Amino acid sequence: MWDNGVQENLTREQGMFGFKDGGMDGGMDGGMDGGMDGGMDGGMDGGMDGGMDGGMSGAPRPVSGTTAAAVLPFDGMLGLAEIDALSVPQGVRFPESSWRPDLRAQLVLSEFGTTNWRQFDETETVPREKWQHVNGFTLAPPSLDIPDNLEAELALLMERARFQRNGARMAEIARQADHSMDYWKTLLSLTPANKPATMTLMIAGFTIGQMVGMYFKDFFQRARPAHYLPTLMTVLPTPAHPAFPSNHALQNELVGLLALRCLPDSLSACYADAITSLAYRIGENREIAGLHFTQDSDAGRQVAHWLDREFMGKLDIVQSLVAEARDEWHVSGRATLRSLPYAAPIRRRTALRPTPDSMVVI
C-alpha cells in the first residue's frame, strides 16, 4: 500500500484498510463520479499520477509503489569473472528501515490481537444496546427508536447538508473516503523514507481501528441516516456496513493519538492542535456527507481514546516503535508567534455521555 521511499509518494490505502484504488487522483478521468467505471469504486487512476494504471475494470495498482514499467528485463544471471569461488557476506539481517510501513504495521496488529480488548462484562452488556468492557469502558448510544433522539440527529444532518456541502468541502469528502492518509502525510510531511517508524504506527492505527470498528458495528447493528431519511441524498453511496461507530472518526482519532506519541515533547506542543483538528474534521466530513449521525462520530473518537489509553501504549512493539519514531524527528525547541491572522477557533462537541470509566472526547 505504500511506496518504497525512493519515489516518496504513497499509493493507495487499499487492502489493509479495506479501501480501493481510484478517486480524485485521476482528475477528470477518475473524478468524483468515478469517470468510466472507475473513480470512487476503484477504477481509472488517470492523470499525471497514474494515467490508465488503475484500469477501467477497477483493478488495484501494485501496492509497492512500483508499476510494470519499473520492472527491469534481464535474461538469466549476471556473469562473473571468478567462477571457481564465490564470496558471500555473513551475519546479514534485513534492515528494519527497509520494511514497508503497512506490512510492519501488521506486527502491531498481531500483538494487539493478544490483548483482551473484546472481553466484555456479561452482566452489564445488552446486545444492540450497551457494551461494557471488563475494565469498565462503556458504549451505550442513545436509542434512535426514541423519536426525540432521531429528530435531533436528523435535524443536525439536514442543517449540515444545507450549509456545508460546498464545492471545496465536497471534493475533500470524496478524497477522504478512501485516502484520508494523504491528509496526514501532507500535514506532517511524511514519507516511508523519512519517517518509517512514525508511518508504521499511524498505519497500525488505521488497521486496528478498522477491525475494532467493525466489531462494534456488528454488535450494535445501527442503521445509516439514509435508511431513516433517503431525501438526505448522501454525497457518497451509503457504505455496506452498519453506522455505529464511525470508522473514519475512530481510525483518524487513533492515528492522531499515535502520531502524538511519536513526537518529541517540544514538537508535540506545536503540532497537537493541528493533529487533533484534522482527526476531528475527517470524522465530521462523514456527517456532512450524510453517512453518519453525530453519535457515530463521537463514539468512534471515544473508542479511539480507550484503545490508545488501555492497550496501544502498553504493547511492547508500540513502545519500541515510539522510541524509533522519536529519533526521526529533529527539533531543538519551540517559539511562540502571536501576530498571525488566525482563523476562528474550531468548536468541537463532547463525546457520548461518559460513564465513570469512559472518556470525554474533545
Residue 88's pLDDT is 86
Residue 46's pLDDT is 43
Residue 338's pLDDT is 80
Residue 358 has pLDDT above 60, yes or no: no
Dump pLDDT digits (tens) for 103-118.
999 999 999 999 999 9
Considering only CA atoms, which of 101, 322, 282, 111 is closest in space to residue 208? 111
Q: Length of the chain in residues, anyone? A: 362
Residue 333's pLDDT is 85
Residue 80's pLDDT is 81
Instruction: Please state, in angstroms and rounded to a whole number, the distance separating the CA atoms of residues 210 and 1.
Output: 16
Residue 64's pLDDT is 37
Residue 97's pLDDT is 82
* Unique residue bearing C-alpha cell 442543517: 159
Q: What's phi and psi for 6, nearest 5 deg?
A: -80, -45
Residue 190's pLDDT is 95
Specify the pTM.
0.76
Instruction: Please state, in angstroms and rounded to a whole number, the distance separating the CA atoms of residues 236 and 346.
Output: 25
Most trustworthy range by pLDDT among 1-5, 34-38, 270-274: 270-274
Instruction: Please state, in angstroms and rounded to a whole number, the distance separating the CA atoms of residues 134 and 119.
Output: 6
| Buried/exposed code over 293-329 (b: 16+ C-beta within 10 A; e: otherwise) | bbbbbbbbbbbbbbbbebbbeebebbeebbebbbebb
pLDDT band at 349 (very low <50, low <70, confident <90, very high): low
Query: Is-contact 198 259, C-beta < 8 A?
Result: yes
Question: How distant, in Å, are the alpha carbons of 7, 25, 166, 216, 359 from that of 346?
Answer: 35, 29, 18, 29, 20
What is the percentage of the chain residues whose pLDDT exceeds 70?
75
pLDDT band at 328 (very low <50, low <70, confident <90, very high): very high
pLDDT band at 267 (very low <50, low <70, confident <90, very high): very high
Average pLDDT, integer, range 306-311: 97
Query: Is-contact 64 7, C-beta < 8 A?
Result: no
Considering only CA atoms, which of 339, 245, 234 is closest in space to residue 283? 245
Residue 341's pLDDT is 79
Residue 353 has pLDDT above 50, yes or no: no
Residue 336's pLDDT is 84
Average pLDDT, the chain: 81
Average pLDDT, integer, range 203-215: 98
Spatial neighbors of 325 by CB under 8 A, at least 6 apart, are 195, 197, 198, 201, 261, 262
Residue 261 has pLDDT above 80, yes or no: yes
Residue 343's pLDDT is 58
Residue 340 has pLDDT above 50, yes or no: yes
pLDDT band at 3 (very low <50, low <70, confident <90, very high): very low
Cell of 36: 468510466
Dump pLDDT digits (tens) for 10-26.
343 344 444 344 434 44
Own/partner contacts of 189-195, CB < 8 Å, gap of 24 or more, are: 191/3, 191/5, 191/8, 191/9, 191/10, 192/2, 192/3, 192/4, 192/5, 192/10, 192/100, 192/101, 193/5, 193/6, 193/8, 194/8, 194/328, 195/262, 195/325, 195/328, 195/329
Stronger pLDDT, 70 or 7, i.e. the higher one: 70
Query: Is-contact 243 232, C-beta < 8 A?
Result: no
Q: Which helix (H) or strand (E) holds 108?
A: helix 101-112
Residue 65's pLDDT is 39
Own/partner contacts of 111-118, CB < 8 Å, gap of 24 or more, are: 111/315, 111/316, 111/317, 111/318, 112/204, 112/208, 112/311, 112/312, 112/315, 115/311, 115/315, 117/212, 117/307, 117/310, 117/311, 118/215
Stronger pLDDT, 224 or 21, i.e. the higher one: 224
Residue 348's pLDDT is 62
Stronger pLDDT, 280 or 27, i.e. the higher one: 280
Residue 196's pLDDT is 95
